[in-house]
């Protein structure tokens, strides 16, 4: 199965240190929806795996999160793409859950639901948490400079061997032209 797993905030949509709390605040990064549509047309299944601690923090509720995701799905479909599933952790950093990245719980859920391993699956994120979680799930981490990616490049010590791209569109181009290979 051709599969790519994407973080949401900072990879698909603009990120905010104040959180994305409403559908109106959810704004796609230029080229990201086209990239998802392109991957879909090339036979890739797209999964989103995202921490959403704003739910635990009381900044928005699960219904609002559902409306944000419905907007994302609709805009992707309008571009001719499809997102297979969205896996999210609604917990805060001190809740002790296993699904919050950098722990691999979200990826373990993907593996269980799809009955696959992630050994040759790219996980595209913009934070050190995404890289650590992908490695823990034995997936192939990729960092994008969008979102918090530039900040991650300056601070992280976890990036040895991790391919870095300007954004999701650049990653997609490299993957589909064969410049980037799952090894």
SS3 123: strand
List average pLDDT for each run of 10 residues in the chain, which is 183 residues long.
Answer: 97 96 98 98 98 97 98 98 98 95 97 96 98 98 98 95 98 97 79
Task: Report pLDDT for 181.
Answer: 87
| Long-range Cβ pairs for the range 153-161 (8 Å, 24+) | 155/128, 156/128, 156/131, 158/128, 158/131, 158/132, 159/131
CB of 166 within 8 A of CB of 144?
yes
pTM: 0.97
The domains located in the chain, with CATH, are 3-176 (3.40.50.1000)
Active site residue 17: no
Residue 17's nearest CA partner among 127, 144, 149, 147 is 147
Active site residue 9: yes
Task: Report pLDDT for 182.
Answer: 82
Task: Report pLDDT for 108.
Answer: 98
Residue 174's nearest CA partner among 158, 163, 183 is 163
């Amino acid at each position: 199965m051709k599969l790519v797993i994407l973080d949401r905030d900072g990879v698909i949509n603009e990120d905010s240190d104040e959180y994305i709390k409403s559908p109106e605040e959810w704004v796609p990064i230029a080229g990201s929806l086209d990239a998802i549509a392109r991957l879909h047309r090339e036979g890739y299944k797209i999964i989103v795996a995202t921490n959403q601690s704003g739910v635990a923090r009381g900044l928005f509720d699960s219904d609002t999160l559902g409306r944000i995701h419905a907007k994302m799905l609709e805009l992707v479909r309008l571009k001719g793409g499809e997102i297979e599933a969205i896996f999210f952790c609604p917990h805060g950093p001190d809740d002790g859950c296993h699904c919050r990245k950098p722990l691999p719980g979200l990826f373990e859920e993907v593996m269980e639901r799809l009955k696959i391993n992630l050994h040759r699956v790219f996980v595209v994120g913009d934070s050190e948490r995404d890289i650590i979680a992908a490695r823990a799930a034995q997936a192939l981490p990729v960092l994008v400079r969008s979102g918090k990616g530039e900040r991650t490049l300056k601070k992280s010590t976890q990036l040895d061997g991790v391919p870095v791209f300007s954004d999701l569109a650049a990653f997609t181009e490299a993957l589909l032209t064969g410049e980037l290979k799952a090894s």
